[in-house]
Structure 1
Amino acid sequence: MASVRDGDASGVPVRVYDPAPGSAGRPLVVFLHGGGWVMCGIGTHDATCRRLAAGSGAVVVSVGYRLAPEHPWPAAADDALTVLLWARAQAGALGCDPRRVVPAGDSSGGNLAAVTALRAPELVAGQLLVYPPLDAAAAPAEGRGPGTVPASGSGPASGSGSVSAYGEGYFHTTAHMAWYWEQYGGDPAHPYVSPLRARDVSRLPRTLLVLADCDPLRDEGLAYARRLGAAGVDCTVHLYPGVFHGFLGLPLPAARTALTAVTAWLRATE
């Protein structure tokens, strides 16, 4: 990176990665880290953000959103939107085009990126979702609290193929996911908790979904892709066989391949 600096975006901590100061008109990525809304932060995803910026030429703004359970929903989602608005306002000063802003994230950060796009579709040029949880009701019922709703035709049931096949023994388990949802809170039927349950996704921007085949969340991602495609949204799915949830941050051939594809997609954002 030519420039990496920590800052404040309307009260939310951020780290800004600029691979080429002085450039203009570039994409601007608002990156939301994973960690089940309860763990990780700007530091844990530093390498990922550097790779995204270096490969795409985009400025990447990594968001230090508030974590659950001390700050349950909608704190993280609100912080994500706050930084998106800040980033658009600062786009010119950062050498970016405000019409090329892309919310992005992995795992729970992918959920936040999807929610941000749903909340402000007119402000974003794309959304990059890396193995995101998209339906709180797809997790096992225990521990989800009084807001629980049954899985329905809007998303995969808890007995879907990926949940049954990869719910245990592949790093990220359905038990983990149920606990994360419990800490995060919110009504599982609300689209800003469970984007897969949004009634209208037709206004969403071009989308790239990066999915791991050996992941209980795989079918949620595929279901979202089908919904977007049926609504006329330009949606691309990259499904990587033989890898598990979290693979993008690991030194694996699939991660290198995925990063190359992701950065090419970001460069093409208009």
Structure 2
Amino acid sequence: MNRPPHRPRTGPDPAVRNLIDLATAAFPPLATEMTDIADVRAFLAARPRPDGPAPAVARVSDRDADGVPVRVYDPAVHATAPVIVFCHGGGFVLCDLDSHDAFCRSLARATEAVVVSVDYRRAPEHPFPAAPEDAYTALSWTAAIFPGRRIAVAGDSAGANLATVLTLLARDRGGPAITCQALYYPMLDPTRSRASHRENAQGYFLTADHLRWYWDAYVPRPADRTSPYAAPLAGADLSGLPPAHLVTAGFDPLRDDGLAYATALASAGVSVTVHHHAGMFHGFLSMAGALPAAAEARETAFATLRGALAPG
């Protein structure tokens, strides 16, 4: 497993700092000034939509995956294209199919894979284990609808938690088979105890207050916080999981959780690749249109996933 080199810590470069400030200004002040979930979602829904057309994909359809809404992006490259089951981020509380629509379109185009984006139930209305159970239902549906295809799981932030939990559930429940997992700045540990949670607690878009609020909504029962299906860093047995690719960011409170999970996977005998972006922050892969370095990082991440899904 490749590890990021240690470098003296400096602040983000001006272009990254400006993007952090813009993203922060466009995000609700949740957990501090705003705590009601309806208000937070209304704030996000009222934001202006991105300018320009969405990336074109041959076929996009909203489907019912045995009771779980999904959106299927089919680039129609070839009849046996691999499939990626994607879980969106948002702290298990926010975001939906629309918030990650452009990301999933770009993912389908870059990987030449069918992408199945999962609209799992969100906390606090539906706390753990609703989200992973919905994701597993969607995974099982995907395997039935696309038989014989190579399947990857992927997600960003809380969605990366759900993606890796899917590999645990598939192993423990006897399938479906998963070829690989792509975890983009994963949210894995409700204790929030590692150094990056203190170093990056404020000022880099995702904050310590956000994470506390998200985890309190998602796993309100203390007993659930040691379940490997909620907190994969809580001593889970990680043996027998598919190869993993992790993307981490230097100015992310979740940085050390992702790096610790990569180490834990490798220790369990899982093949792991880590792309660490020391000058980036949480969520940067979704901001590729605003920052060339983010666009380059996303291209690398998607190319890595495409390669992992290639036959042979």
TM-score bracket, shorter-length normalisation: 0.7 to 0.9
Q: Which runs of 5+ in 2 are unaligned?
A: 1-56
Structure 2 equivalent of residue 183 of structure 1: 217
1:43 aligns with 2:43: no
Return the offset for 1:215: 0.4
Structure 1 counterpart of 2:114: 59
Query: Moved runs in structure 1, 4+ residues, more than 4 A?
Result: none
Q: Letter of the aligned partner of 1:111 in structure 2?
A: N
- Check the 8 A contact 1:27/1:267 in 2, yes or no: no
Q: Distance in 1 between matches of 2:90 and 2:265?
A: 25
- Residues 74-114 of structure 1: CA distance to partner in whole angstroms, max 9, x if unpaired? 0011000000000011114xxxx43x111111011011111
Q: Does 1:239 align with 2:239?
A: no
With normalisation by structure 2, the TM-score equals 0.76
* Counterpart code for 1:179: W
The residue identity in structure 1 corresponding to 2:213 is: W
The structure with the largest alpha-carbon Rg is 2
Using the size of structure 1 for normalisation, the TM-score is: 0.87
User: How much has 1:52 moved relative to structure 2?
Assistant: 0.4
Please say if 1:196 is aligned against 2:233: yes
State, as a whole percentage, how many aligned pairs show the same letter: 52
Matched, 1:3 2:53: no
Equivalent in the alignment of 1:27: 82
Paired position in structure 2 for 1:164: 198
Partner Cα separation in structure 2 for residue 9 and residue 199 of structure 1: 28
Q: d(CA) in 2 for partners of 1:199 and 1:173?
A: 26
Alignment partner, residue 140 of structure 2: 85
Letter in 2 for 1:246: G
Pairing partner for 2:250 from 200, 213, 222? 213
Aligned equivalent of 1:222? 259
* CA deviation after TM superposition for structure 1 residue 216, in Å: 0.7
Give the Cα separation in 2 of the matches to 1:51 and 1:212: 20
Instruction: Tell me which moved more, 194-203 or 104-113.
Output: 194-203
User: Which has the larger share of strand?
Assistant: 1
CA-CA distance at 1:253 after TM superposition: 2.0
SS in 2 for 1:44: coil
How far residue 170 of structure 1 moved from its aligned partner, in angstroms, is 0.6
Q: CA RMSD in A?
A: 1.3
Secondary structure class of the residue paired with 2:237 = coil
Output the CA distance in 2 between the equivalents of 1:210 and 1:48: 15
C-alpha contact 1:163 1:217 (8 A) present in aligned 2: yes
Amino acid at match of 1:259: R
Where does the alignment leave 5 or more consecutive residues of structure 1 unmatched?
139-157
Alignment-mate amino acid for residue 210 of structure 1: V
Letter in 1 for 2:80: G
Determine if contact 1:27/1:266 at 8 Å carries over to the other structure: no
Work out whether 1:118 is the aligned partner of 2:168.
yes
Measured in 2, the distance between the counterparts of 1:18 and 1:164 equals 41
Displacement of 1:168 = 0.9
- For each residue in 1:141-166, what CA deviation from the matched residue of structure 2 results, as whole angstroms up to 9, or x when unmatched? xxxxxxxxxxxxxxxxx2x3312211
| Match of residue 305 from structure 2 | 266
Report the CA distance between 1:26 and its aligned residue.
Answer: 1.9
Aligned length: 244
Which amino acid letter does the alignment assign opposite residue 304 of structure 2? W
The answer for the alignment partner of 1:152 in structure 2 is none
Conserved 8 A contact 1:37-1:68 = yes
